[in-house]
Structure 1
């Protein structure tokens, strides 16, 4: 089934050193022996360095390289342990493995998994996160890694039982199992800034981040559907969820999923524009980073052989469209994310100010 051109209002870009970054990622995967020989061979062919280069087209090269290596490592976990490995159908055992890896990220000096190649790669990644980021950014990176691990155990429970989750549960799971949140701190590191706590904790910032995650993972499901249907245990894709829970045909599920991502992408643009207008210079940079994350994922998704699958070609689009199939302003009707529309602006609103600045303004007014 052909995937039609997807809506994208964000212009494409790529880091000028993308070829060198991709080559170094392949060398990094070999040096740490990420995954089996066969899995590593496949991952190196997926041009993951180009993915990072599209997400961080103007980022510091060393951080763009870190992201490329990290994403390849994530695929080593996701493909090797979860989707293709036996652990992906044994949630209890998978939880133990991932908790030990999490401890390596938290305390690299701990004498755990010393002969494990994934742990070796993670120790290297953790050292570079600490080198290029602040202590707060490193802590958030580890916290988001925990979210990712927790969600893939949830995935494993469905594989084990052979069940398809509800749309609301799947949406909640997908906000984390795509590992998008683990990239968010890297977006800051790539440009050498850090959002202030009063902005980071703003409810609208969490909404715009989750919207970005939704669009990226829905796009991934749409573009990977052809590849995934050829594998056993096809339970965890939004098209399968819509077919099962909504009684839709495959074509109807595709049309519905595209409409959902279009509506969310429109809401994302409105909210990101608002936050850029009322926030700090760091907020404007962060919104630009989220936009690049969305568009970079799209461009890589329609070009990487991970999804084009040349041995069994997928009918993926080669262009994008500037017209959404659904530009509605109403919530999607998915309970887990309906609150997003509460913070999407419908008119002008006040500039974001820190609690301290607000207190100082009140004191001055007295």
Structure 2
């Protein structure tokens, strides 16, 4: 699966050779997808792996290759990607040439999601990727101004920048029993989704802080914003971020227990998916070379 996804990225021109290929291989998108969706069918797991690879390439373009330091240039790129999303993977409506490799690959992800015959999940996926892209513009504006957001603002926008929501949607798509409309509209599951997304993002921040703080002292990271907001030193901010994660995990387990007590068997699959994502992020972060 790892080799196939790297070749998919190469085929669309997301990476060419040398360092970008090495960087994507080290990221181990397949390892993360496999942990998060261990029982999914091959085609569903492959789609999830390719999405994670696309998100890694997009994030690297913004964080390491300079795209995210120039809001005007990023806005132009995102405009093309939003046009791709508006097409919702329509096979007879390929993206314009100026959408570039990121646009061509994103269209392929939307097309394959559309082919699964679940229009409600396609529309949710498209909406969530759109939110991710627009949040990148917020991040770029902060970076240009050397602005560190406060904790509340950061926590809200981090839910979108993390790209976790579209990954959860494709994991649901690969499930034999995805949550139906009634389950999706349940406020208790909506609240648990937010907790799961926060936990994945905060776990990522804790593991990536060392690398990000070396590259950019004003990086968007939970540790950074806690230190800036509270005036504490790095060690205290790291402890506070870890405490926030642990408190969030306790709240998540309480919410999960309450939903399991409802006796809705269809919710069990949805809850297993979200639990898998939290644990997968932690286990993958321990071994992945992405944050070395």
TM-score (norm 1): 0.75
Cα gap change, 1:151 to 1:186, in 2 (>3 Å): same
Distance in 1 of aligned mates of 2:73 and 2:7: 30
Name the Cα RMSD after superposition. Answer: 1.7
CA distance in 2, matches of 1:256, 1:233: 18
Give per-residue Cα distances to partners, 1:1-29, cap 9 Å, x unaligned. Answer: xxxxxxxxxxxxxxxxxxxx112112212
Measured in 2, the distance between the counterparts of 1:162 and 1:133 equals: 44
| Runs of at least 5 residues in structure 1 that lack an aligned partner in the other structure | 1-20, 310-366
Q: 1:293 to 1:133 in 2, by over 3 A?
A: farther
Aligned to 2:163: 179
> Hey, what does 1:290 align to over in structure 2?
274
Report the counterpart of residue 28 of structure 1 in structure 2.
8
- Displacement after TM superposition at 1:57 (Å): 0.8
Matches within 5 A, 1:213-232: 213-232=197-216
Q: Tell me what 2:58 maps to.
A: 77
Alignment of 1:303-318 (within 5 A): 303-307=287-291, 309=292
Question: What are the within-5 Å matches in structure 2 for residues 313-332 of structure 1?
Answer: none
State the secondary structure of the residue aligned to 1:101. helix
Instruction: Using the TM superposition, give the Cα deviation of residue 115 of structure 1 relative to its aligned residue in structure 2, in angstroms.
Output: 6.9
Any idea what the Cα deviations from partners look like across 1:187-230, whole Å, max 9, x if unmatched?
Answer: 21111333222221222212111101111111111100111122
Change in CA separation of 1:84 and 1:133 when aligned onto 2, cut-off 3 Å: farther
2:132 corresponds in structure 1 to: 148
Match of 1:194 in 2: 178
TM-score (normalised: structure 2): 0.93
What does residue 94 of structure 1 align with?
Answer: 74
Q: Distance in 2 between matches of 1:32 and 1:96?
A: 20
For 2:75 and 2:273, the matched residues in 1 are separated by 32
Report if the CA contact (8 A) 1:33-1:40 is conserved: no
- Structure 1 window deviating more from structure 2 (115-124 vs 46-55): it is 115-124
CA distance in 2, matches of 1:116, 1:279: 48
Q: Deviations over 1:39-95 (max 9, x none)?
A: 232112221111100000111121111111110111111111x21233312324323
Greater helix share, 1 or 2? 2
* Deviation larger for 200-209 or 134-143: 200-209
* Structure of higher CA gyration radius: 1
- Per the alignment, residue 115 of structure 2 pairs with 131
**Number of residue pairs the alignment of both structures matches:** 287
Bigger Cα displacement from structure 2, 91-100 vs 258-267: 91-100
